[in-house]
Amino acid sequence: MTNVVRCGGPLLAIIRREHLDTVEGAFQYAGGEDLIKSGLGTRRRSRIRLTDDTGQSHTLYMKCYGCEGLFTRLRRWLRTGRCASQGAAEFANIERVRALDIRTMEPLVFGDDYAPLAGGRSFLLVGEVPGEALERCGEDVLSRWADRPERIDALTDQLADLVARLHRGGCVHQDLYASHLFLDEGADGDELYLIDLARVFRPRWRRFRWRVKDLAQLKYSMPARWVDGSWERFLTRYLGPEQTDLRATFEAAVDRRLGWMQRRHERKRSAGADSRPMEGGS
């Protein structure tokens, strides 16, 4: 049995009062709002709103991971090199991404009753990130900023820096869609947050392929007018002066992957399936 706590004070007190600091308490908790989406499998996602003893409100997100099959665990171990529960792996990913100076969720608590051979359950509790997903607000933002191109350029540069820090830190996201990038239009400036870090890992081989996959997912999911007007700037900033000679290679590889994604989307649409990337709230 493993439990790790990264918060304190009134927030920790209310978490413990609600028994959200143990595996059993997390799996039995019925006070949240379940967030249903396709493909969750044995996972459960909940939005939880709590008020601590000082009167401050907190919005938290909880993921509960049920038992996985042996072959699923083996595939993850082989790919990531980690023998850990899903909750522990995502908790470690959040801390790793934060160490790269990338804004993301605040990790609060995780716990598991996991053993490498037997498997087991795990859970993760994180804080809410501010703002709204670029998938939802991107078109509106670009319309409102149409007469302020410098603000769009600044957002593009910030996005390129975020992805570059992730990749230069040796990590890839695997689900780098606009639904997992949150924009907070704060009084002190616009800030981007990266969420849904369950599949982040450090590839030991074929790193170029994994980077291209992330970039293609981003290009696929961002508003078309941003792709038309800002993708070239994004790629220039992302590569930096030290990788300028690789620009043509990256452009060709990203567009090949993008074409494959678009064809796959059309096949699924023709078959009546929903091929949109899944949104993440945590």
Q: 3-state class of 170 per DSSP?
A: coil
How many Cα atoms within 13 Å fall on the side-chain side of residue 129? 26
Average pLDDT of 197-216? 94
Distance, first Cα to last Cα, the chain: 24
Q: What is the total residue count of the chain? A: 282
What is the model's pLDDT at position 67? Answer: 84
Reported as a single tens digit per residue, the pLDDT across 264-276 is 888 888 877 554 5
CA distance 70 to 119: 8
CA distance 156 to 163: 11
**Could you tell me the pLDDT band of residue 280, with boundaries at 50, 70 and 90?**
very low
| Mean pLDDT of all residues in 217-231 | 98
3-state secondary structure at position 49: strand
Type of residue at 50: L
The CATH class for the domain spanning 2-127 reads alpha beta
Name the residue ranges covered by the structural domains of the chain: 2-127, 132-270
Domain 132-270 in CATH 3.40.50.1860: no
Gap between the Cα atoms of 96 and 89, Å rounded: 10
pLDDT tens per residue, range 149-195 = 999 999 999 999 999 999 999 999 999 999 999 999 987 889 999 99
Q: How many beta carbons lie within 10 A of that of residue 230, not counting itself? A: 22
Percentage of the chain modeled with pLDDT above 70? 92
Give yes or no for a contact between 115 and 73, defined as CB atoms under 8 angstroms apart: no
Instruction: Say which amino acid occupies 58.
Output: H
> Could you tell me if 199 and 75 are in contact, meaning their C-beta atoms sit under 8 angstroms apart?
no
In the numeric block, which tokens belong to residue 218?
Answer: 């981003």
- Enumerate helices (H) and strands (E) in the chain, giving the number of each: 9, 9
Total-model pTM: 0.89
Give the tokens for residue 15.
């978490």
